[in-house]
Structures are given as structure tokens and as C-alpha cells.
Amino acid sequence: MMAATCSDTTIISSRHHKPRAMVSSVVCNGTARIVYNAVSGMLKGSVVDSCDNNFAVNGVLHQPFSLDEPSTSLADFSITDGDTGEQFTVLNIPVEWLPIVNVVTKATHYHLRISHPTIRFETKELLIGNRADLEIQQHLGAIVERSGGEKPCVHLGPMTIKIVASQRIEPGFRRESICDNLSHPIVEQSEDFLV
């Protein structure tokens, strides 16, 4: 920063002409574990890629899943980077519940499928009972909240996340000091508020 020392100083302020933006992105291919809470209508889980990068995945269904209604609904997802804490929100993602009948027990279970350009997931294995409890304890921990007496199911499968977001930053000020005694203007520029 340069300062003018003459008594007759005129300060002219102007904005930069080039707008600046900060670009953030998440690209992740890994194994996801997702638990659906029927009481709150929330999907909670995490995805871990081959380099052990961890991302928290939280989804809120617009309408809670019901056996009587259509199997497709919309959800708003929030993805949080475990390393940086950056959070990305993607709205109106279609979520499908696919009925799968167990050939041994003849019970119908619902597998989760998310098919969107930013988030893709499909249940490859549905963990129930003790196996679900073990998976929650080892991988999800405090992420999953339980309602009274509810036995959670863990949807295990591959997940792909591709999000690119940009944030516009307000341009800084550029100051030009002109002194009557000097032939050249003095230019000051700073991103700090103490200019």
C-alpha cells in the first residue's frame, strides 16, 4: 500500500471491471451406507472413496415414503466434505423405492435408487437386524438417529457424486490518489478493509 504525503490529495475510488468467482467441486466414486428414518423422512449416511475421502450425505424427502403411494419422490440433499467441511446442497433429486421380494422369506423390502446427474446411488445390499447395527456402529456412528423401537436398514451400494459450484465474490476497491505536486497518480489496491 502506498500513501500520499502532500496536503492537496484527491482520492478517486473505482471498482474492478472483472468479476471474480470462487469455484468448488466434489467428485467422488465410492461405497455409500445410507439409512432411512421413516419418522423424520430423512436419509442419512456417508460415502467413502478409494482414497479414504469421506463425505456425509443427508437427504430430506419432500413426502415421507409410504407403501400406499407411488415409489418415486423428490428429496433435497446436502453433501458435506469430511476434510474441508464444505457443504453443497442439491435440490429436487428424484428418489425411487424399488420393491424386492426375498426368495427365502417372501418378505418385501424396498431398495433405494437415486438417479440424477449430480448424485447416483443404487442399493446393492440391504442390511437388516444385527448386521445393520454393526454397520451403523462401525461406519455411521452418531450420524444415525433412532426412533423408539425402530430397527434400521442400511442401504449399501456404489455412489457417484459430481457437483461443481461457483460463488461470486464482490470486487474490491481500487483507489487512486492524485497530488497537485506529483506528475504521476499513486494507485492503492487492497482486499483488506484497512486501506
Q: Facing residues of 42 across strands?
A: 37, 60
Tens-of-pLDDT digits for all 195 residues of the chain?
444 444 454 444 444 445 566 777 888 999 999 998 877 888 999 999 988 899 999 999 988 777 666 578 899 999 999 888 889 999 999 999 988 888 888 888 889 999 999 999 999 999 988 888 888 888 777 666 665 556 778 999 999 999 888 776 666 555 555 566 666 655 555 555 444
Domain region containing 175: 1-18+171-195
Q: Tell me how far apart the alpha carbons of residues 186 and 19 are, in angstroms, rounded to a whole number.
A: 24
Give me the DSSP letters along 50-106.
TT--EEEEEEEESS---TTS-SEEEEEEEEEETTT--EEEEEEEEEEEEEEE-TTT-
Q: Are residues 181 and 143 in the same domain?
A: no
Write b or e for each residue in 17-31: b if 16 or more Cβ atoms lie within 10 A of its Cβ, otherwise e. eeeeeeeeebebebe
**Number of residues that make up the chain:** 195
Q: What is the DSSP letter of 141?
A: G
Helix (H, G, I), strand (E, B) or coil at 27: strand
122 and 175 assigned to the same domain: no
Asked if 179 and 158 sit in the same domain, the reply is: no
Cell 490529495, residue?
9
Domains identified in the chain, total number: 2
Which uninterrupted H or E stretch holds 131? helix 130-135
Amino acid at 64: P
Same domain for 183 and 89: no
